[in-house]
Structure 1
Amino acid sequence: MMSDRYCILLRHGDYHQLPATPSAHQPFGLTSLGLQQAAESVNAIREMVDAQGWTLHHEVHSSSLLRAWQTASVAMEGLSECDRIVTSDSLTERCVGSAANLTREQIVAAVAQDPRLDPLPDDWKTNSHFRLPFVGAESLMDSGRRVADYLTRTMIQIDRSGHAVLVFAHGASLRHAAHVLGVLPFDRIAQLSMYHATPVALSVSSDGVWRHAAGQWKNRHKQLEPLD
């Protein structure tokens, strides 16, 4: 509906990351494939916006992590309507706190060595409600609420119907945010992912109701462990 405003979500492109390390706050940039994906996102964004008759907002929003900012920067080069990137820590992926950039084995060992802590559950990395017992750590749902709050605040400031705001962030926190906003049922979060640098649009009505508007989530193969 043209009375709605639109939020176009994009997961960053493929990036360099440490092996077997669940911290999604790694400070590394895009791979050559990721840069290609970011460049190719321009056509997908343009096709979506033109097909729906939307107008791109001049400000682009991005997670403060390098891979998301790079994806936004490359995409913006091909989008003449967009002239500014607003970066925010509020759009980052789930934080594992003081366990940042430890391997999975090191995290398990650190918990085992602390006599105050119970052993980690088997699904500690993928359980949406589980929070590692470390300073600064979040659950996946915590990150989803954080991102949902940011999206809500951002869209309140967009007072023109039919306008679409680009948001470059991370797959897991975006999916959990979509659940918090009432777009995805909880059991769909783990079943879905996001394609790199491929738009999924949500609409928000004047009375604050969010819906899926355009673009496709990625169906996740059951044997694959969820990543950001």
Structure 2
Amino acid sequence: MCLLRHGESLWNRENRFTGWVDVPLTDKGREEAIRAGLLLRGYRFDVAYTSRLERAIETLELVMLAMGYRVPVIKDEHLNERHYGDLQGLNKDEIAKTYGEEQVRLWRRSFRARPPNGESLEDTQRRTVPFFKNTILLDLVNGKNVLVVAHGNSLRSIIMYLEDVPEDKVPQLEIPTGQPIVYDVYWDQEAHMLKIRSKSVLR
């Protein structure tokens, strides 16, 4: 299984909160997506999952183009980025001047802090992990190789579940754009749970 955050978007470059707003990739983001696809050429995927947001969908399209083959694609809003509520579209540095750097850090990196009218990472996990268990996990149990192209926070929430990351370690969990994270996973019949044999970050 491979988890991949989309390539750099326009609002990533402009240091804005993006959330559920559809923002295109930059030229750098497209280059990151193509490079990710080249790094993944040695792998064979059977199915791909992505969010309903254009930056993730375009990244996946470029990845498949670079890999040289296509797979069935499932698009689902459960994999959308965390919804940043009233912060969407606003510059992070400007918001820090208004609310203070520590508050903005909590909104961005903590597990439970919820921005005004938005989602906490905990809220995000409440939709991503059930989706993972009910759909993606079934493909993995059936022996399929799965590619998931999504977003920084939707992937953070899934990685928390996969790697059993404690809440106090979440602020240090960074997911760079366009960098494939490949897991060798298997289903432990006795424990009735997914286990990880190895993890590698392709650079």
Provide the TM-score with structure 1 as the length reference: 0.71
Within 5 Å, which residues of 2 pair with 1:25-174? 25-47=20-42, 49=43, 55-57=44-46, 59-103=47-91, 121=103, 123-134=106-117, 137-158=118-139, 159-161=141-143, 163-174=144-155
Equivalent residue letter for 1:34: G
Gaps of 5+ in 1: 1-6, 50-54, 112-119, 219-228
Partner of 1:194: 175
What CA distance in whole angstroms lies between the structure 1 residues aligned with 2:145 and 2:113? 33
Partner of 1:221: none
Within 5 Å, which residues of 2 pair with 1:212-223? 213-216=198-201
Equivalent residue letter for 1:193: E
1:169 deviates by 0.5
- Tell whether the 8 Å contact from 1:13 to 1:37 is kept in structure 2 after alignment: yes
Equivalent residue letter for 2:109: T
Provide the TM-score with structure 2 as the length reference: 0.79
Q: Deviations over 1:147-176 (max 9, x none)?
A: 222222223432532x21000001222122
1:13 deviates by 0.5
- Tell whether the 8 Å contact from 1:61 to 1:86 is kept in structure 2 after alignment: yes
> If each structure's helix is expressed as a fraction of its own residues, which one has the higher value?
2
1:183 deviates by 3.7
Equivalent residue letter for 1:87: K
1:74 deviates by 0.7
What CA distance in whole angstroms lies between the structure 2 residues aligned with 1:170 and 1:93? 5
Equivalent residue letter for 2:113: F
What CA distance in whole angstroms lies between the structure 1 residues aligned with 2:158 and 2:202? 14
1:28 match: secondary structure: coil
Gaps of 5+ in 2: none
Deviates more, 1:194-203 or 1:206-215: 206-215
User: Considering only aligned residues, what root-mean-square deviation do their CA atoms show, in Å?
Assistant: 2.9
Partner of 1:15: 9
**Percent of matched pairs sharing the same residue:** 24
1:212 deviates by 6.4
Residues matched between the structures, number = 193
Equivalent residue letter for 1:205: W
Structure number with greater Rg is 1
